[in-house]
Amino acid sequence: MTNKNNASTFAKGLRVLSCFETGRRDLTMAEVSRLTGFDRATTRRLCMTLQDDGYLHKADRVLRLAPKILAIAGGYLTSNDFGHRVQPVLNQYAEEFEGEIALAMQDGDRAIYVARSAISSARVSFGFSVGSTLPLLPTAVGRMLLAHGSDADQATALSGLTPERYTPETDMDVGSVRSKIETAAKQGYAFVRNEFEMGAAGIAVPIGPIGASPAVLATTASVNQFDKPAEFDRALDVLRRAAISLRA
């Protein structure tokens, strides 16, 4: 049954394009064909279209995204005034904090870093940059986003998500995670340690929706750092003030 309001070929093309989200450097057309389940010939045609349009570049059979995709991402950032309005605030508070601060938003069943600022000596958490995605359940970012979605969105997200183990300390009990999300909603911040990355902890505070999506500010540091109450309070304070700046 064809959905008349949908262009299935375009949808397939987007599916191919999304194979490159992971940043893999070894994708061949054959591998894309396996990832998508599309016939090789179909995959090839869609990849060729992306190449002809300048979105993909091929060298030695390996396909890579080209910078052109950033122009669309730039359109997103521009339309929400991230450069002018958000980045300077993040820069300011990252400097004050002497660490990193990131703004993340929800995209379906995951979180996406939308903007980020870090001083040069800040820990590089997984090499995350703009566009990196995070799971919702084991991260402060994710839980804070869920805490601030509507109840319906939250229920939908939670029922569709299965906890996945990232570290020995990842909370795998849905009820427990739900409870932590409620706590985050009540106290106005989320704090997660050792559940997504051993030795790392994250704090997130809400800044209300941007466009149609919930958004939060977050910072990460080593568990050692945030286990010191003064450091924790300082980080939370910085995040909250930055959030206030962004809401004005």
Partner DNA sequence: CAAATATGTGCGATAATCGCACAAACAGTC
Partner DNA sequence: GACTGTTTGTGCGATTATCGCACATATTTG
From 30, 34, 39, 83, residue interacting with a copy of itself (rule: CB under 8 A) = 83
- Interface stretch with a copy of itself, choices 115-123, 147-155, 167-175, 183-191 (CB under 8 A): 115-123
- The answer to whether 159 contacts DNA (rule: CB under 7 A) is no
Angle 75-157-238 from CA coordinates, rounded to 5°: 60
Interface with DNA in residues 59-118 (CB under 7 A): 60-61
The contacts found for 42-47 with CB under 8 angstroms, 24 or more apart, are: 42/12, 43/16, 46/12, 46/13, 46/16, 47/16
Using the structure block, give the residue that is written with the tokens 């568990």: 223
Q: What is the DSSP string of 155-174?
A: HHHHHH-----SSTT----H
- The answer to whether 18 contacts DNA (rule: CB under 7 A) is no
Task: Rank residues 113 and 226 by Cβ distance to a copy of itself and give the closer one.
Answer: 113
- The answer to whether 44 contacts DNA (rule: CB under 7 A) is yes
Site map for a copy of itself, 29-68, x if CB under 8 A? ---------------xxx-xxx-xxxx-x-x----xxxxx
Among a copy of itself, DNA, none, residue 38 binds (CB under 5-8 Å by kind): DNA
Helix intervals (H) in the chain = 8-18, 29-36, 40-52, 68-79, 87-97, 140-148, 151-160, 174-187, 223-226, 229-247
Angle 176-152-162 from CA coordinates, rounded to 5°: 40
Among a copy of itself, DNA, none, residue 61 binds (CB under 5-8 Å by kind): DNA
- The pair of structure tokens assigned to 145 is 């986003």
Using the structure block, give the residue that is written with the tokens 């030795």: 199
- Interface stretch with a copy of itself, choices 9-17, 155-163, 228-236, 237-245 (CB under 8 A): 9-17
- The answer to whether 199 contacts a copy of itself (rule: CB under 8 A) is no
From 19, 38, 94, 226, residue interacting with DNA (rule: CB under 7 A) = 38
State in angstroms the smallest separation of the CB of 176 from a copy of itself.
Answer: 28
d(CA 236, CA 204) in angstroms, rounded, equals 8
Task: Rank residues 120 and 159 by Cβ distance to a copy of itself and give the closer one.
Answer: 120
Using the structure block, give the residue that is written with the tokens 């466009």: 211
d(CA 86, CA 103) in angstroms, rounded, equals 9
Interface with a copy of itself in residues 134-173 (CB under 8 A): none
Among DNA, a copy of itself, none, residue 28 binds (CB under 5-8 Å by kind): DNA
In the complex, which residues of this chain contact DNA (CB under 7 A)?
2, 4-10, 12, 28-31, 38-42, 44-46, 60-61
